[in-house]
Amino acid sequence: MGGAVAAFVSLMVADLPAVRAAQPRSRDPRHAFTERLCELVIPRTDTPGGAGAGVAEFVLLAIDHGMNDLDASSLELVRESLRTAGGREFLELGPRRQTQLLEVLDARAFARSAVAAPGTAEMAWQRLKPAIIAGYYTSEIGASRELVYEPVPGPRRANFVLTPEYRSRSNEDFGGAL
């Protein structure tokens, strides 16, 4: 009996991260800003974008669990940088201005010659952006509607010439680092 209870308790403990991970984050005060970033990076086209795919939920989970060296300051650094550059809260700006500001930060963060310093918005964005991308392309929408989800490819076709219709398989990049 004791063994069974202990086993059950250990099962519960083992499952805690999963329980936490499944909690809804839509009421999180960071959610609206995060969701806007996700949509600006991957906008709605003929398939839903970052907002429609619920990417903000994954990004906040990634921050809260320290994935890709993210921490609580990561989002704040990006937000503060965009607020300073825009002269007011990012979410209060129009879409065109938001796009401009984020494009500037993105270009700075990923400029070939630049080495982002710790504690800067550039480094925070270097860590945040992979989470946005991963969140989108591992979502059902990103993996199976925007790209092709191919869990069982079957017989391999070794080499062929790419056709205009070919669309990348999301499965190629699952797992590993963000």
Partner 1 sequence: MSEYDAIVAGSGITGGWAAKELTERGLRVLLLERGPWIEHRKDYTTEFKAPWELPFRGFSDPKVLATTKRIQRFARTDEWTEGMFVDDDVDIYETPAESQFRWIRGYHLGGRSLMWGRHSYRMSPLHFKENARDGHGVPWPFGYEELAPWYDYVERYIGVNGTAAGDLPGLPDGRYQPTMGFSAAEQRLADLIAEHYPDRRLLPGRTANLTQAIGERSACNNRNQCARGCSFGAYFSTQSSTLPAARATGRLTVHADSIVESLEYDATRKRVVGVRVLDARSGAPTVARAKLVFLCTGSINSIGVLLRSDSPAAPGGLGNSSGLLGRYVMDHAFAGIMLSTVPGLESQMYLGRKPNGIVLPRFVNIKSQETDFLRGYSFQGASGRDGWKRAGHGPGMGAAFKESLRRPGDWIVGFGIFAECLPRRENQVRVNFARKDKYGLPLMRIDVRWSENEHKAAAHARREARAMLGLLGGTVLPSSDELAPPGTAIHEMGGACMGDDSRHSVLNRYNQLHDAPNVFVTDGACMNSCGDRNPSLTYMALTARAAAHAAELYKAGAFA
Q: Where do contacts with partner 1 occur on this chain (CB under 8 A)?
A: 3, 17-18, 21-22, 40-43, 45, 49, 58, 61, 65-67, 99, 102-103, 106-107, 109-111, 129-135, 137-140, 142-144, 146-147, 149, 151-162, 166-178
Quickly tell me which residue has 């996700």 as its tokens.
38
| Dist. CA 80–CA 86, nearest whole Å | 10
Structure tokens that stand for 124 in this block: 């925070």
Residue 178 amino acid letter: L
Residue 127 phi/psi, 5-degree rounding, is: -90, -30
Give the H or E element holding residue 46.
none
Q: Is 163 exposed, middle or buried (0-12, 13-18, 19+ CB in 10 A)?
A: exposed
| Dist. CA 134–CA 138, nearest whole Å | 6
Q: Is 163 helix (H, G, I), strand (E, B) or coil?
A: coil
Structure tokens that stand for 171 in this block: 């499965």
Cross-strand pairs, 169: 148
Whether residue 63 contacts residue 56, with contact meaning beta carbons closer than 8 Å, is answered with: no
